[in-house]
Structure 1
Amino acid sequence: MQKNIITKKSGVHVVVLDLFSGAGGLSEGFFRAGATFIGHVEADKHACDTLRTRTAYWNLKQNNKLESYYQYLLKEISRDELWEMSGVSVSKDVIHTEIGDNTFDSITETVKANLKNKNAKKVDLIIGGPPCQAYSIVGRARMKESVACDPRNYLYKYYVRFLEEFQPKMFVFENVPGILSAANGQHFQDIKDAIDKAGYHMELQELTASDYGVLQDRKRIIIIGWKKNKRQKYYKYPEFEKIENKYLVKDVLEDLPETKPDNMIEGKGLYKSKPGSYLIEVNIRDENFNILTQHETRMHNERDLEIYKEAITAWNKDKKRLCYKELAQRRPELCTHKNKTSFTNRFNVIKADQPASHTILAHMAMDGHYYIHPDIKQLRSLSVREAARLQSFPDDFYFEGPRSSQFRQIGNAVPPKMAEQIAKKIKEIL
């Protein structure tokens, strides 16, 4: 059964190893480009479960058996049954482990076994990016002095070891813009030196997600590298295809049913309208898909809801962001934080009438105040599904684990639509 599940139709397929995979936003783009994965390596259990469920989707799609996947979304079959019928339960494609000295050899052995099982000669491409908390400006501010000794600063060394071990033709290394300035630029210089020593040339650009079909002002550093050899002259940093944005943030939210705090809406036939042009064009939802999942919201107390009302009114009326210090002066009964001089922008509304929202971050797992829904009638923060849509995840993408983990997985991900544009060009080059 496993052989049948992984068999692909004829054509060119790039063989990909995915490191520090997260929930699979970057790999989703390469799945769409027809890549063959011989490993997704990820330390978080819930993200690994998400990767397995998404791999089940792609396996079943290849075999024209997506009805089984839709049964899972409707809770008509269990996750174990889904994984069993899709071949995921016997597959070792998703490797749940931390990457480190104690696990490098075992990961390598598993990847080589996967290569053999899929009749693939070698790895063409390595993708992924180490966890970015130690590089991001927000993360560095939160961790303060402890950031200097954070072990995540040095996970890039294992990425480079995988380059040395498998010698792919190319690699894609993604991270936050803060990677360039962390430790006054020393970390990035160390990364560059290590990649050069491994025999690879690299170039980078800062890409903005809103240029690639994502209604979000999210910036990422995308490093592309290729082996230094006689064919190097044929390679150059690709020009990724930009997508003209004709839409507003409201277009990603408009067909979802209204809800309230601490609520879950799931099931068939629950969308309030057919999908609009934006949702269809970026593959979030097509006209035939009618199963809503994970439209789940967190609970808020009455005081926070009053603040949300103030924040939404300030934006809708004056296009002004709520300032906590000003709120404390005007309505002191709502303000319980003693610190009124820093983090005065702790409340933020998703701007429905703008072409892009502010960045969806993993921190939203702990704090919904920064992601307030623009509809004052609903008075709540974003649902899991809404956050996923702003990251351009399709509605048939299911996130495993508790709600906090789902938000974290979404916030950490590369937007799939942006990843798809990257994958198309890398496939052309290879």
Structure 2
Amino acid sequence: MTRYKVLSLFSGAGGLDLGFVMTGKYEILVANDIKDYMARTYSINFKAKVTRGIKPGEFPQVVLGDVEHLDFSVLKGEDIDVIIGGPPCQDFSVLRASTAERGGILVKRGRLYVHFVRALVELQPKAFVFENVPGLTSANRGLAYKVIIDDFTNLRLRWSEIKKSLKGGGDNNSLGSSIRGYTLIFSEVVDATAFGVAQRRRRLIIVGLRNDLVKSRSVFELMAVFKKLLYRKYGLLQKYPLTTLEVFEGKVISELQDKYVEVMKEYDGVWEEVGTPKAWEWKKKVWDKLSFDVIKDYLFFNRIPTRREDELEEAINKHKEALREAGYYGKKVTEIRVRDRSLVPPPEPPEIREKIRMIPPGENYEFLVGSKWELRRKGVSQIYRRLNPLTPSYTVIAYGGGGMAMYHYERSRSALTIREKARLQSFPDEYVFTGSLSQMKAEVGEAVPPLMAKAIAEALAQLLDDIV
């Protein structure tokens, strides 16, 4: 069986890489991150040596340091097949020229993005996977995204311009006409729920194949094949998503009737305790419409209009398959044993915990406005927002305090543990996180969900097997 060699850039704690490794079709030779705690976590989980600079023959390794200092030429003899990574693009700017005489657009490519492109130019892998935030497609009125797409597809023509963003202007003049560009077979924003992840998390995914591999194949055919392969396993979960209750309890919803009722009945009368118009409105629009049948309420909360018994049964089987794939089925998250501090409850002032008790599932700080439990107001929907047990979670984030911790659906609970967030991200329970609680939060929150990454990796491997 062919195993494709991978260079991973901006690797973080390894969520994207783990998905590739889980397929059994790839081996990560070199990973890289600038943060020491990220590199340490990566090293432990992938049994990779931490190095300073790329060391030939010492694989797997995770290079601690700035991507700017990586000498990719060291890897030319290794025949790297795939480059993966998500370079931060905050410093990418595209401005329209101010006068008609000058015309065109002015481009300042992000420093880190340029090094991702440099790796493609120097190593010319068979394929690449580029992931980023969905906002990249609309940044600078969509011009930044257009520049990136043009860079990938016209790499030979664009390289002389791109390398000007490198310190010293780059030293790759000898490459010249040997540089090959890439055919983009996928460039869309995807949601992690479609891959068996119990979290609403949208990411831009761009997948490219080196032009010479495409040959006479129709680009539209390759795009259609890749998309079909990508969604073939859990496509039904776009309509019937996995829930927070399932990943925390380690069971599918049809097995959680009693637990669901126990959770929701804790909030009986909360509208009277809070006493605000918002609270009474919630009673009318949510509480009074609940049947306390776990399946009926699952359909209600996820706005699934019709109930087809055969389709629903298939969806629940897919839920079980996803739980098994992640290693959660039959394992309640609060009862597992871990080798790190990820089950340690985050510290919280007692007065905050008491106020959180007054917020029901799916609601946030706004529920308490005007009551004696009112929390500091902020215009962000995730502030002091409690999870709904029968829906996917909202997006797990890496940074931020003051109500951004994510809050458990059980009334007696407050902020989630790192391990609970890791389950929402689909990390295996045996995955070890290192550093302080805030550093572990960043490791989990910055990651690509491994199950989503695995689906991307499987689709790419099957395509490569077919055309290489």
Question: TM-score, normalising length from structure 2?
Answer: 0.65
- Counterpart in the other structure of 1:358: 394
- Counterpart in the other structure of 1:53: 44
Report the Cα distance in structure 2 between the residues aligned to 1:157 and 1:401, rounded to whole angstroms: 30
| Kept in 2: contact 1:368–1:382 (CA 8 A) | no
SS across alignment from 1:311: coil
Q: State percent identity of aligned pairs.
A: 28
- Aligned with residue 348 of structure 1, among 374, 380, 385: 385
Structure 1 residue 385: Cα displacement: 0.5
Structure 1 residue 47: Cα displacement: 0.9
1:63-105, Cα deviation, whole Å (9 max, x unpaired):
xxxxxxxxxxxxxxxx99xx9xxxxxx75611111112xx033
1:281 equivalenced with 2:264 (yes/no): no
Amino acid at match of 1:375: E
Gaps of 5+ in 2: 52-57, 93-107, 156-180, 252-318
| Kept in 2: contact 1:306–1:334 (CA 8 A) | no
SS across alignment from 2:183: strand
SS across alignment from 1:155: helix
Report the Cα distance in structure 2 between the residues aligned to 1:207 and 1:197, rounded to whole angstroms: 25
- Aligned with residue 70 of structure 2, among 104, 109, 114: 104
| Kept in 2: contact 1:226–1:232 (CA 8 A) | no
Describe how 1:122-271 pairs up with structure 2 within 5 A: 122-131=79-88, 153-198=110-155, 199-202=181-184, 203-229=186-212, 231-234=214-217, 236-237=222-223, 238-239=226-227, 240=230, 241-243=232-234, 244-245=236-237, 247-254=242-249
- Counterpart in the other structure of 2:98: none
Structure 1 residue 424: Cα displacement: 0.8
- Aligned with residue 38 of structure 1, among 26, 29, 33: 29
Structure 1 residue 182: Cα displacement: 1.2
Structure 1 residue 362: Cα displacement: 1.1
Amino acid at match of 1:283: A
Report the Cα distance in structure 1 between the residues aligned to 2:216 and 2:200, rounded to whole angstroms: 34
- Seen in structure 2, the aligned counterparts of structure 1 residues 387 and 233 have a Cα distance that, compared at 3 Å, is farther
- Counterpart in the other structure of 1:302: 350
| Kept in 2: contact 1:282–1:392 (CA 8 A) | no
Structure 1 residue 287: Cα displacement: 6.2
Indicate the RMSD between aligned Cα atoms, in angstroms. Answer: 3.0
1:95-120, Cα deviation, whole Å (9 max, x unpaired):
111112xx033xx25545xx6xxxx4
| Kept in 1: contact 2:29–2:61 (CA 8 A) | yes
| Aligned residue pairs, count | 332
**Structure 1 runs (4+) greater than 6 angstroms displaced:** 286-289
SS across alignment from 1:423: helix
- Counterpart in the other structure of 1:292: 338
Gaps of 5+ in 1: 1-10, 60-78, 84-89, 136-150, 257-275
1:370-406, Cα deviation, whole Å (9 max, x unpaired):
51011112x3211010000000000011112211111
